[in-house]
Structure 1
Amino acid sequence: MTQHETHLRGLYAAIESGVTGDGLRAFWHPDAEQIEFPSIMRPKGHRRSLEEMIAGSAVGLEIIRDQHYDVGTVIVQGEEVAVQLTWTAIVARDLGAITSGTKLVAHVAAFYVFRDGLILRQSSYDCYEPIEP
């Protein structure tokens, strides 16, 4: 396992265990950005800076619980990493038509760029399974 793969698996484990704020900041380069391409949950896509990611981490714990990352394929090429995974979580409170207790499942292709051993950019394509309460 490469250093970058170990770093990403550490990030996923931290998120699963509810780490927020500065605990997550340790995984990201100060100039980091996160890009989510359009999906059912983000129809227009979304782009966030590191500060927005950190602020959103605490809010995320209010919205979802029991997150899990089932990592499949990991391809490392220099400072770039491609990961195929399945993400699952439970909705913690009603989100419009999505009720509390609903299980969310997304099949994800995520692409990372590292700088100085930290994540500089994450781009992800999230394909959600049908959402049923």
Structure 2
Amino acid sequence: MAEEMSLGKPPLELVLDFVRTLEAGGGAARIRPFLADGFVLVEAPHLLAPAGSTRTLEQVLAGADNSAGVVANQKFEIRRTTCEQGRVVLEADWSATSLMDLRYWDAGETIRARTSSVFEVRDGRIVSQDSYDCYYTS
């Protein structure tokens, strides 16, 4: 279903559909149709990953399935979008409920971050995402 939805859509619409899929619980099978075979996710250093990270498609899909045991009720409040050809920039306030004790949050608490992501879309698929997340505890 998501595969049919993602094909042929304008880049901004594709990225927003991807975000809505994440909010709905995501999971590898649901997000895979949005992502190109060579997809790469680059996360700048942040509170939960001080060294940052670079993940391949396979790592992202494994993480998507594992995230169901870490967070629930993901919500992206879109603040602003910019789109130029195949590049989509998304600024959002993100929140989720922690399902386990983490360094700065206990299980049941709400995790919050201001996030900016730069997506590259080519041939109806997201080929990369560079994310800049600013987590906060209040």
TM-score after normalising by structure 2:
0.89
Q: Report the equivalent of 1:109.
A: 116
Cα pair distance change 1:97/1:37, threshold 3 Å: closer
Q: Report the equivalent of 2:21.
A: 14
Alignment of 1:50-89 (within 5 A): 50-89=57-96
Shift of 1:96: 4.4
The code of the aligned residue for 2:115 comes to: V
Query: Secondary structure, in 3 states, of the residue corresponding to 2:13?
Result: helix
Query: Cα RMSD over matched residues?
Result: 1.3
Residue 44 (str. 1) matches residue 32 (str. 2)? no
Q: For structure 1, list consecutive stretches of 5 or more residues without a partner in the other structure.
A: none
Shift of 1:19: 2.5
* 37-46 or 14-23, which deviates more: 14-23
Instruction: Give the fraction of aligned pairs with identical amino acids, expressed as a percent.
Output: 24
Contact (CA 8 Å) 2:76, 2:94: kept in 1 or not? yes
Query: Secondary structure, in 3 states, of the residue corresponding to 1:26?
Result: helix
Q: Report the equivalent of 1:5.
A: 12
Shift of 1:60: 0.6
Q: For structure 2, list consecutive stretches of 5 or more residues without a partner in the other structure.
A: 1-8
Distance across 1 between alignment mates of 2:91 and 2:103: 29
* 37-46 or 3-12, which deviates more: 3-12
Shift of 1:116: 0.8
* 38-47 or 91-100, which deviates more: 91-100
Residue 120 (str. 1) matches residue 127 (str. 2)? yes
Cα pair distance change 1:109/1:7, threshold 3 Å: same
Distance across 2 between alignment mates of 1:113 and 1:80: 5
1:10-60 Cα shifts (integer Å, max 9, x gaps): 111111111312211101011000000000011000111011111111111
Distance across 1 between alignment mates of 2:102 and 2:115: 21
The code of the aligned residue for 2:109 comes to: T
TM-score after normalising by structure 1:
0.92
- Give aligned pairs, total: 130
Shift of 1:4: 1.2
